[in-house]
Amino acid sequence: MKSTPVAYGFLLLGLICVVLAILYVIGGILPTFTSSGVAGPHYKHAILFGVLAVASLIAFNFSRPRTV
């Protein structure tokens, strides 16, 4: 589905995932969003959001309309 709003939605989602991944690596900022509630780095969540960021950016590349 080629659509500018959908493409930019994926881009925004990708950027949010990048920010969340960085925050989980830094740790101490998102303790309430971890299963342990511990304020340290949470690499499992960071890797997941990193993967989701890559997937969102691929989806952005697929859905953006191209001018030939």
Partner 1 sequence: MGLLQGASELFPVSSLGHAVLVPSLLHWSFKQSDPSFLPFLVLLHLGTATALLVLYRVEWVAIIRGFISAAFRGSIGNDSERLAMLLMVGTIPAAVLGVFLEGRIKALFASPYAAASFLIANGVLMLVFELLRRRSERRAAVDHAPAASREESFAQAERISFRAAALVGACQALAFLPGISRSGVTIGGGLLAGLRHQEAARFSFLLATPTILGAGLLEVPQLFSSGVPLGEYLAGTVLAGIAAYASARFLLRYFRSGRLDPYGWYCIAAGLVSLALLALGL
Q: Which residues bind partner 1 (CB under 8 A)?
A: 35, 44-45, 47-48, 51-52, 55, 58, 61-62, 64, 66
Instruction: Give the nearest distance from C-beta 30 to partner 1 in angstroms.
Output: 14
Amino acid (1-letter code) at residue 49: F
Nearest to 56 by CA among 3, 5, 16, 1: 16
Instruction: Give the nearest distance from C-beta 31 to partner 1 in angstroms.
Output: 15
Q: How far is CA 22 from CA 19, 37, 61, in A?
A: 5, 17, 22
Instruction: Give the nearest distance from C-beta 40 to partner 1 in angstroms.
Output: 15
